[in-house]
Structure 1
Amino acid sequence: MTTTTSTTASAQQTTASTTRLRLAVIIGSVRTDRFGTVPAEWFAGRASAHGDYDVDVIDLADYDLPVSMDENDDVAALGARLAEADAFVVATPEYNHSFPAGLKNAIDHFHAEWQAKPVALLSYGGTSGGLRAVEHLRLVFAELHAVTMRNSLSFHNVWGLFDDTGAPKDESTATAAKQLLDQLRWWAVALRDARHAHPYGA
């Protein structure tokens, strides 16, 4: 009986480790003149080409989320997509030394959907490249029991960095994206296996 249980647990762990990861790439700005769709969609393409991810691009501009914590159909729909994800990439600009209010509102509507999952941060902006927004987001996601990646991908003075096809002109950026996706995969598998073995907080 003991051997059977051990074998079953091992098989379950192997299955959890080898199943493709569900990655949500979140476009964090909802402004009409935003640039964030360009780096976010480029990164989503890199993630799809990586081979380990099923990618879901979530554009927060598609959702009418109340500023209060009230529920509506859009809150439920966004929550369902976040809950399905094994990992997140959040694309954020820097507005006044921090991240957008619309992104904070979207984050605050949910709790369990973020817990015990890894978050990679992609930022863009002027001379700072959005890095101050990234540091603030680390504090927010830590409060939600999410694990932010130590490394991030930032685009400084972003408006001249992408060509007409939406790809970075610096080809080394693709290498940096792959490294981040490799690290994200490690955390996503480790945390998914841990949640599979023992639900977080239980």
Structure 2
Amino acid sequence: MPERPFTLAVIVGSTREGRFAPVVANWFAAHAGRRDDVVVDVIDLDEVRPYELRAGSEEMETYAKRVGAADAFVVITPEYNHSFPAPLKHAIDLLHQQWQAKPVGFVSYGGVSGGLRAVEQLRLVFAELHATTVRETVSFPMAGNLFDEGGQLRDPQDADRAAVVLLDQLAWWAQALREAREARPYGS
């Protein structure tokens, strides 16, 4: 019997004007959307506006419900000054229980490091929230040179393979942790 699809929230972590994040997020969401075992929900922080969210507001409730409904996450993050964007940290910090006992993967982009320094810091943040980060990542060094004007990768072979491995790991963890949460609610 095939397992029911898991909900993957793709968090677009940059809100900076002129950001490259939508190009990377669109590529990844399209890649994930081709799988039968995934339902993709793209949560763009530029639309969520985390600094404007207030406790008890309809916008905050909507954001919390979308994160809470996800079985897994992929964070699309740039690397700004060897770290990740402040609005992303704020968006993560607004919630707690909604992240717990769920897997998190990363797709990063940036200069020479491809955003991997931001990813390493995000791993620490999610560990504190009792989330499980997966080992594999997709990383785009000098990302602006890798995509064409239409948002397509010029040479997709390596990135496509990395995305498959990342999604396979997330699928395993998402199914396993969802079953565990359903059998016994997680408590911190």
- Fold shared per TM-score above 0.5: yes
Residue 96 (structure 2) aligns with: 111
CA contact (8 A) 2:136 2:165 kept: no
Q: Distance in 1 between matches of 2:77 and 2:186?
A: 27
Q: Distance in 2 between matches of 1:39 and 1:162?
A: 9
TM-score by length of 2: 0.94
Moved over 6 A (4+): none
CA contact (8 A) 1:123 1:130 kept: yes
Of residues 174, 184, 191, the one that matches 2:160 is 174
Q: 1:149 corresponds to which letter in structure 2?
A: V
Q: 1:187 corresponds to which letter in structure 2?
A: W
| Structure 2 segments unaligned to the other structure (5+ residues) | none
CA contact (8 A) 1:92 1:130 kept: yes
Bigger share in strand: 2
- Percent of aligned pairs with the same residue? 54
Matching of residues 129-168 of structure 1 within 5 Å: 129-168=114-153
- Deviation, structure 1 residue 67: 7.0
Moved more, 156-165 or 22-31: 156-165
Residue 186 (structure 1) aligns with: 172
Q: Distance in 2 between matches of 1:184 and 1:111?
A: 20
- Deviation, structure 1 residue 164: 2.7
**Aligned residues between the structures:** 187
The answer on 1:56 being equivalent to 2:41 is yes
| Structure 1 segments unaligned to the other structure (5+ residues) | 1-13
Residue 111 (structure 2) aligns with: 126
Root-mean-square deviation (Å): 1.7
CA contact (8 A) 1:50 1:178 kept: no
